[in-house]
Every structure is written in structure tokens, then in C-alpha cells.
Amino acid sequence: MSATLLVVDDETAIRRLLAASLARVGYKAIEAGDARGALAALAIDKPALVLLDLGLPDRDGLELIPLLKAGGAAVLVISARDATEQKVAALDLGADDYVTKPFDSEEVLARIRTALRHRLAAATEAPLVEIGDVAIDLAARLVRKGGAEVHLTPKEYDLLAQLASHPGKVLTHAHLLRQVWGPGHEHDIEYLRVAARGIRKKVEDDPSRPLILRNEPGVGYRLVPREIPQADRSSREK
């Protein structure tokens, strides 16, 4: 796999480091030190994914996100800003994921893989999402666990389907509430908590150690494809 990735960061050391790790696993990495360079690279090299730092010298990284998305790239934000509002803002602007500095290279690589796959999945509109023994059939509106049908309430299903159509991506509370409960319910986080509890009870092996539906404190939920735990295992074996 030789996808082209763009690393945007004003710190040369970080940029070089990230580029080196990416090259090591076979990606083609290009670098940009500011927003202008990033937009130029977007037009010329058509990267599949951008690793974006928010603190750029010429422009706020948040402003770049919609432009990069419009250019067809997946966006993974890597920033020292760890305030919840920053994460939510980036995700709501269309970023696929968010990693805070200091980061773990393995974690970043795993997130890149998920985001790239999600980009492909979004292109093909895969109607069936499988995570372990759980299968979500978006076309038939059916959920199976170990072959047996799982009975979800309509809201639980809608929530799971939302997450399943963006596997691995964090969807913010406000986004989920708007999509599932409708506009005007963006702040009724309690609904979300109740539905998430219901889904876990029916789908997870151990609802108190969820492997499928994961909470990002203060930000949102994500459906974890099987790959991340596998990546963790492989990194530990190295």
C-alpha cells in the first residue's frame, strides 16, 4: 500500500519524525510547514490523508479542515490542544480523528489505517459492517451477534447504524443526537447514554469492558473495528 500522506506541522522535528515512521510502514510521506504549503501540496499531490497540527504559523489549523476534506483527503488532527471543545470543534468540522500530543506512534499508525479504510468504505457504501462476531446489516436494518438476531429498540439501532456507517471514526455527541433524535436535541446527552447502555448490554460480551462501542470522554462515541486491538497486539509483539 503506497498511499500518499501529507504531514502538516510547523515543528520540523515532529514532521521529520512522523514522516520517517510513515515511510517505514510503506506510505509515501510529503511534508508542509504551514497552511499555504499544505494547500499547495493538497492540489499537487492529492494526498489520501493529512496529519494536521492545529497550531500553524499562518492560519488556524481548524480553518484548514473543511478545505482539506473538500480536496478529498481524510484528516487526522495531531495537536497539543487537549481541550474538549477543540476536539469537538475539529470533529464537527469534518476531521476523521483526533490525537493529542504527546502521541504514541503506534497509535497514530493504527488511527491512520482506520481512517484510510473508512475513506474507502465511504466510497463504496459497504452495507455490511462486521466487528468480531457482531454483524450490522445496514441494508436489511438487522444486527446479529454470533449468528443470532439482536433486538434493538429503534433509537438503539439508529445510533448503532450511524456509528457503523463511519467505523472507527469518533462521532460527536451533538452530531449523533442530531442524526438520531433530530435537530433541537443536540444537548440531550442523557438520551445517548441510555441508548449506549442498551446497545452494550445486547452487543458486547462484557458490557462493563466494552470492545465495540467506545466512549471518548466529553467528545462522543466511536465504533471500534477489530483492527485496533490487533494493531496493539502486533506492536507489543515487535
Partner 1 sequence: MSEDTRADPEALLRVAAREGRGRLKVYLGAAPGVGKTYKMLGDAATLRDDGADVVIGIVETHSRNETEAKAQGFTVIPRKEVAWQGGVLGEMDIDAILARHPALVLVDELAHTNAPGSRHDKRWQDVEEILAAGIDVWSTLNIQHLESLNDVVASFTKVRVRETLPDRLLDEAEIEIVDLPPDELIERLRHGKVYIPEEATRALGHFFSKSNLSALRELTLRRAAQTVDAQMLDYLRAHALAGSWAAGERLVVAVSELPGADGLVRATKRLADALRAPWTAVHIETPRSARLGPTDNARLAANLSLAAQLGAQVASVPGESAREGLKRFITDVRATQVILGKSTRSWWFELRHGSVVDRLVRETPGVAVHVLPLAEAPAPTDSPPRRPGRWGPPLGHAVSLALVAAVTLAGISVSAFGTVTNIALLYLLPVLFAATRYGLATGLVAGLASSLAYNFFFIPPTYTLTIQDPQNIISVLVLIGVAVVASSLAARVREQAMMAQHSARQNAALAGFARLLTAVRSNGELGQLLCAEVVRLFDARAVFLTLQGDTLALLAANPPEDSLQTLEHAAARWAFDHNLPAGRGSDTLTASEWLFHPIAAGGKVRAVVGLARPEAPAPLRPDQLPMLLSLFDQAGMALERIALEADMAVVTRLEERDRLRSALLASVSHDLRTPLTTIVATLAAMAPASDEQAVQLADARAEAERLQRFFANLLDIARIEAGSLRQATEPVDIADAVASAVHDLRRALAGRPIRLDVSPELPFVLVDPQLFHHCLINLIENAAKYGNPDSPITIAAHRGWQGLTLHVIDEGPGLPPGEETRVFDNFTRIAGSDRTGGTGLGLAIVRGFAEAMGLAVSAANRSDASGADFALHFDEAHLKRSAA
Confirm or reject binding of residue 218 to partner 1 (CB under 8 A).
yes
Rounded to an integer, what distance in angstroms lies between the CA atom of residue 5 and that of residue 22?
A: 8
Minimum Å gap between C-beta 124 and partner 1 is: 30
Q: Helix 84-92 to helix 173-181 angle, to the nearest 10 degrees?
A: 50
Amino acid (one-letter) located at 160: L
Q: For residue 195, which of 166, 173, 224 has the smallest C-alpha distance?
A: 173
Confirm or reject binding of residue 232 to partner 1 (CB under 8 A).
yes
Confirm or reject binding of residue 158 to partner 1 (CB under 8 A).
no
Confirm or reject binding of residue 189 to partner 1 (CB under 8 A).
yes
Q: For residue 89, which of 220, 206, 238, 185 has the smallest C-alpha distance?
A: 220
Count of CB atoms situated within 10 Å of the CB of 61: 27
Neighbour-count burial of 102, counting CB atoms closer than 10 A to its CB (0-12 exposed, 13-18 middle, 19+ buried): exposed
Minimum Å gap between C-beta 80 and partner 1 is: 5
Confirm or reject binding of residue 46 to partner 1 (CB under 8 A).
no
Number of residues that bind partner 1 (CB under 8 A): 38
> Which residue from 57, 208, 233, 237 is in contact with partner 1, where contact means CB under 8 A?
208
Confirm or reject binding of residue 237 to partner 1 (CB under 8 A).
no
Q: Which stretch binds partner 1 (CB under 8 A): 43-51, 61-69, 119-127, 187-195?
A: 187-195
Confirm or reject binding of residue 132 to partner 1 (CB under 8 A).
no
Residues facing 50 on adjacent strands: 6, 75
Contact positions toward partner 1, by CB under 8 A? 11, 13-14, 17, 20-21, 24, 55, 80, 83-85, 101-105, 173, 189-191, 193-194, 196-198, 200-201, 207-210, 214-218, 232
